[in-house]
Amino acid sequence: MSNLVELPPRQIANSLEATPLQGVSQILKKKPVVSVVGLTKAYRKHVHSIPVLHGVNLEVENGEFISLVGQSGSGKSTLLHLIGLLDSIDSGSIHFEGQRIDNLATSVRDKIRNEAFGFVFQFYHLLPELTALENVLLPLMIAKGPLKWLFSRSKALAQAKALLDRVGLGHRMDHKPRELSGGEMQRTALARALISKPRLLLADEPTGNLDDESGAEVIRLLRTLNREEGLTILMVTHNLEITRDTDRIVRLSKGLVVDEEVQPEA
């Protein structure tokens, strides 16, 4: 992993600017970043109600790399979306860094998504009109108004370029998504998820659409980020091979967590 050698001093920076709670968690390393209690969710279609989650309990500890597995339709994506504040819950609660977040105002939720969470999806979800570099910059642009953006532009650009370099796309920055391969798109999406220095990365089958080689590349990147920078990752996957690289496997079945197994240290 030659391109991962030069790492920014992330831990130090984090502990300086983070909340006291996170500072403690950094030291204890066992404090939950996310804790989900009794989470239920049903989708309503006209009069029908389709229950998906029936009271999910889950704790994600700081610096953990968790695989979320389960049959198709078992509610993995739903859970991920709820934790990521992309949808509203029916009952239960979600805490992030000790603070309840599921009942916050929309604007605060938007801000948390922008600053604290990083998302990676199966279908990359890059904006087709923007270049790789612009896609990576998007979270920073969203965070800042036009004026602030102009002032911080050069810094942001350098940051985005460094990240693209890190995921091995330094030479493809000005390409539109349709000019990139699946693996390259997913690595661009990963760079975009990382640009705002998230405290939690939510990945929904990030390798689901990739060939083995590209998928392995993405997983290697995630593993390195987790190991070397202590990034907390919650990843949905179908691939058992991949779960072997993670700290813990959480199995979801019919809307409930049925099984958690801690992986032996790799």
Within residues 141-180, the interface with another protein by CB under 8 A covers 141-146, 149-150
Q: Interface mask (CB under 6 A) for ligand ADP, residues 11-50, using x and -?
A: --------------------------------x-x----x
Provide, rounded to whole angstroms, the least separation between the CB of residue 44 and ligand ADP: 8
Residue 173 CA to residue 194 CA, distance in Å, equals 16
Q: Which stretch binds Mg ion (CB under 5 A): 52-60, 69-77, 134-142, 208-216?
A: 69-77
Tell me if 77 contacts Mg ion by CB under 5 A: yes
Counted residue by residue, the chain has a size of 266
Binding footprint of another protein, residue count (CB under 8 A): 35
Q: Are 82 and 89 in contact (CB under 8 A)?
A: yes
One-letter amino acid of 107 = S
SS3 260: strand
Tell me if 251 contacts ligand ADP by CB under 6 A: no
Q: Which of 4, 24, 86, 256 binds another protein (CB under 8 A)?
A: 86
Which string of DSSP letters, residue by residue, matches 32-58?
Answer: EEEEEEEEEEEEEETTEEEEEEEEEEE
One-letter amino acid of 232 = T
Tell me if 123 contacts ligand ADP by CB under 6 A: no
Q: Which of 35, 62, 67, 74 binds ligand ADP (CB under 6 A)?
A: 74
Provide, rounded to whole angstroms, the least separation between the CB of residue 211 and Mg ion: 20
Provide, rounded to whole angstroms, the least separation between the CB of residue 45 and Mg ion: 18
Tell me if 72 contacts ligand ADP by CB under 6 A: yes
Residue 91 CA to residue 46 CA, distance in Å, equals 20
Tell me if 74 contacts Mg ion by CB under 5 A: no
Token digits for 241?
């091979």
Token digits for 109?
């939720």
Q: Are 66 and 33 in contact (CB under 8 A)?
A: no
Within residues 16-55, the interface with Mg ion by CB under 5 A covers none
Q: Are 111 and 96 in contact (CB under 8 A)?
A: no
Which of another protein, ligand ADP, Mg ion, none does 31 bind, CB closer than 5 to 8 A by kind? none
Binding footprint of Mg ion, residue count (CB under 5 A): 1
Which residues lie closer than 8 Å to 12 by C-beta, 6 or more apart? none
Q: Are 91 and 173 in contact (CB under 8 A)?
A: no
Find the angle CA(196)-CA(201)-CA(205) to the nearest 5 degrees: 130
Q: Which residues bind another protein (CB under 8 A)?
A: 77, 81, 84, 86-87, 106-107, 110-115, 119, 121-123, 125-130, 134, 138-139, 141-146, 149-150, 192
Q: Which residues bind ligand ADP (CB under 6 A)?
A: 43, 45, 50, 52, 70, 72-78
